[in-house]
């Protein structure tokens, strides 16, 4: 499904802003306008906008409602609604009639509004269910205590909820262009742009345009290959974008793309045949007040900080991010490791994966469906250079291999990009990592084990990494390492939680991996402090950020900036 755009043939209306909002009962169907409602901002998490804990911590259903007038001049067009993401199970109603349902809080929902439902004045209602179970990603469990529903989660970020990304109404002409798939190959001083257009319309022209709108390649076939001579390659820090413009007898769509080639060879990650060392972060969509809501100003600020610190990449830990973030990474030449919300797959039994009531075949189907949606959403972003299929699953347990064998083979039918799995278990007991092209290792020596003992880091890391390499013979990335640090807390000599300790901690990890030539990169955990569930080890959130939650640098940010400058 293509991202909605506005051009000669298509109209796009943004429905962001103030909506009516209410907690609602189980099995709610919005037959009448909401009576008791409060005002709510879209896009945003609702949790931090309210003062009432009952709403902030609500587990269950809520309804968002907005009245919209549809201009008469578009009545002959196909009208669609597109919600960038909302948590987690979404039912959409137009004038009280259900027009669709979606499971997956970090991927879009795109629905047709049939003509007979449309009036001059219309009521759009979006009902969200934020409960996580074994048929959602992330997985979770509902428990009842004293008659109150509680959400149990097995991962480390808050279940912030709401309509988190843009809501658009948009039009498409009849027999529209439904999808476009583009891939590229480089051959000396030319590039092959391989494309496929999905449409029932008749293709009139396919044109590749460069940044200055000059045509550099043409075709009139629905799928095929166009040669671009002397191409500008998409590269780190150089986000050169071309446009593939498709014109049919009644539609036009302009799809940006980059020319670049990715390969794993000799335990290295190659971009345009050159070795890459990943420098950057695992991040989160997480901000003061708006929570997981998408916001262009925050997106720009985060990109500016990434560039300032000389990072070249980030992982979308632990879920797909708003599409605008990928658009920015495309334009700035930043590499993205695109992660699916398979985090916390740790509810498996000791003996086997498939026991009733925990991760099972249905979970696997949801995992696969979301991978399909993710690739269909992000296939044309040059910044997406790798996919991460899970973070810290229990890959040492019986049954993990069977589960992930299907997940990996499914993903290989969708993309040729390298596939990563991010691991917490040790090499000896890992049953899954052989399936991946790149192994991500999250390590917390001197933090979650041997707390504060900085002198163990070097030996532990080397032993741990070498064991992985010897067993699996795959490139490895240090995908997480970090220490909670309270901004403004200083200590000399350092103590855990001080800014000095964070610098020493990260430097020791970097030192330990620097001679391991199969290590293709380092991502510090985390880019910024972020909100988590409550816990004894969490002081108003996770404080492993290199920046505070309001994006001010801790001491370590200056250290990393120096360290990464020439790395």
Per CB under 6 A, residues contacting ligand GCB are 155-156, 318, 391-392, 424, 442, 480, 525, 542, 544
- Assign 190 to helix, strand or coil: strand
Q: Tell me how far apart the alpha carbons of residues 92 and 109 are, in angstroms, rounded to a whole number.
A: 9
CB of 388: closest distance to ligand GCB in angstroms? 11
Q: Which is nearer to ligand GCB, 154 or 372 (CB)?
A: 154
Tell me how far apart the 2 most distant CA atoms of the chain are, in Å. 72
Q: Which is nearer to ligand GCB, 168 or 444 (CB)?
A: 444
Q: Tell me how far apart the alpha carbons of residues 378 and 135 are, in angstroms, rounded to a whole number.
A: 23
CB of 482: closest distance to ligand GCB in angstroms? 6
Q: Which is nearer to ligand GCB, 338 or 442 (CB)?
A: 442
Joined tokens for residue 155: 């991962």
Q: Tell me how far apart the alpha carbons of residues 561 and 307 are, in angstroms, rounded to a whole number.
A: 9
CB of 394: closest distance to ligand GCB in angstroms? 13
77 counts as catalytic: no
CA distances from 25 to 22, 127, 131 (A): 10, 11, 13
User: Going by C-beta distance under 8 Å and a sequence separation of 6 or more, which residues neighbour residue 448?
Assistant: none
- Residue number with the smallest Cβ distance to ligand GCB: 156
Rg from Cα positions in the chain = 24
392 counts as catalytic: yes
Q: Which is nearer to ligand GCB, 71 or 535 (CB)?
A: 535
Q: Are strands 89-94 and 121-129 parallel, antiparallel or unpaired?
A: antiparallel
CB of 537: closest distance to ligand GCB in angstroms? 8
Q: Which is nearer to ligand GCB, 159 or 542 (CB)?
A: 542
CA distances from 177 to 265, 300, 375, 530 (A): 37, 31, 18, 40
In the set 65, 285, 339, 480, the catalytic residue is 480
In the set 285, 392, 423, 499, the catalytic residue is 392
CB of 447: closest distance to ligand GCB in angstroms? 8
Q: Tell me how far apart the alpha carbons of residues 297 and 446 are, in angstroms, rounded to a whole number.
A: 36
CB of 345: closest distance to ligand GCB in angstroms? 12
Q: Which is nearer to ligand GCB, 134 or 155 (CB)?
A: 155
Joined tokens for residue 446: 């001197």
CB of 414: closest distance to ligand GCB in angstroms? 24
Q: Which is nearer to ligand GCB, 91 or 548 (CB)?
A: 548
The CB-based long-range contact list for 110-115 (8 Å cut-off, 24+ gap) reads 110/1, 110/80, 110/81, 110/82, 110/83, 111/80, 111/81, 111/82, 112/78, 112/79, 112/80, 113/79, 113/80, 113/81, 115/75, 115/79
Cα 527–Cα 533–Cα 534 angle in degrees, nearest 5: 115
Residues involved in catalysis: 392, 480
């Amino acid at each position: 499904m293509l991202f909605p755009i506005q051009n000669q043939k298509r109209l796009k209306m943004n429905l962001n802003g103030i909506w009516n909002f209410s907690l609602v009962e189980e099995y709610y169907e919005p037959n009448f306008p909401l009576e008791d409602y409060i005002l709510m901002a879209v896009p945003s998490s609702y949790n931090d906008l309210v003062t009432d804990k009952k709403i902030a911590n609500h587990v269950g259903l809520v309804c968002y409602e907005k009245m919209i007038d549809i201009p008469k001049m578009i009545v002959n067009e196909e009208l669609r609604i597109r919600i960038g993401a909302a948590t987690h199970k979404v039912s959409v109603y137009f004038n009280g009639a259900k027009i669709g349902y979606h499971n997956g809080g970090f991927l879009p929902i795109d629905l047709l509004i049939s003509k007979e439902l449309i009036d001059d004045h219309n009521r759009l209602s979006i009902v969200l269910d934020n409960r996580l179970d074994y048929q959602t990603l992330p997985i979770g469990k509902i428990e009842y205590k004293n008659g109150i529903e509680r959400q149990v989660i097995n991962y480390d970020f808050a279940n912030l909820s709401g309509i988190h990304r843009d809501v658009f109404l948009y039009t498409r002409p009849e027999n529209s262009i439904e999808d476009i798939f583009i891939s590229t190959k480089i051959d000396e001083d030319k590039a092959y742009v391989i494309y496929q257009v999905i449409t029932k319309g008749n293709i009139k022209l396919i044109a590749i345009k460069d940044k200055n709108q000059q045509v550099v390649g043409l075709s009139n076939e629905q799928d095929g290959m166009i040669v671009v001579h002397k191409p500008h390659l998409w590269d780190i820090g150089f986000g050169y974008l071309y446009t593939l413009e498709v014109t049919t007898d009644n539609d036009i769509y302009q799809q940006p793309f980059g020319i670049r080639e990715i390969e794993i060879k000799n335990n290295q990650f190659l971009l345009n045949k050159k070795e890459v060392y990943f420098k950057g972060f695992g991040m989160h969509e997480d901000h003061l007040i708006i929570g997981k809501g998408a916001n262009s100003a925050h997106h720009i600020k985060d990109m500016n900080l990434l560039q300032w610190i000389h990072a070249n990449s980030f992982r979308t830990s632990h879920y797909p991010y708003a599409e605008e973030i990928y658009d920015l990474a495309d334009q700035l030449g930043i590499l993205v490791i695109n992660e699916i919300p398979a985090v916390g797959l740790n509810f498996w039994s000791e003996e086997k994966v498939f026991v009733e009531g925990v991760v099972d075949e249905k979970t696997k189907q949801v995992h696969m469906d979301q991978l399909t949606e993710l690739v269909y959403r992000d296939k044309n972003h040059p910044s997406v250079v790798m996919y991460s299929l899970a973070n810290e699953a229990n890959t040492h347990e019986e049954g993990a291999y069977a589960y992930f064998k299907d997940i990996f083979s499914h993903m290989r039918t969708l993309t040729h990009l390298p596939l990563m799995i991010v691991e917490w278990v040790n090499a000896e007991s890992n049953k899954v990592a052989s399936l991946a092209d790149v192994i991500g290792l999250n390590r917390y020596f001197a933090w979650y084990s041997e707390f504060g003992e900085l002198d163990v880091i070097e030996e532990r890391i080397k032993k741990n990494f070498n064991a992985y390499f010897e067993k699996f013979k795959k490139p490895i990335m240090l995908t997480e390492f970090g220490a909670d640090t309270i901004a403004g807390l200083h200590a000399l000599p350092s103590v855990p939680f001080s800014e000095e300790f964070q610098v020493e901690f990260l430097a020791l990890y970097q030192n330990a991996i620097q001679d391991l030539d199969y290590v293709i990169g380092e991502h510090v955990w985390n880019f910024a402090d972020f909100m988590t569930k409550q816990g004894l080890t969490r002081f108003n959130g996770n404080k492993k950020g290199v920046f505070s939650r309001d994006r001010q640098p801790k001491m370590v940010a200056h250290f990393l900036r120096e360290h990464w400058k020439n790395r």
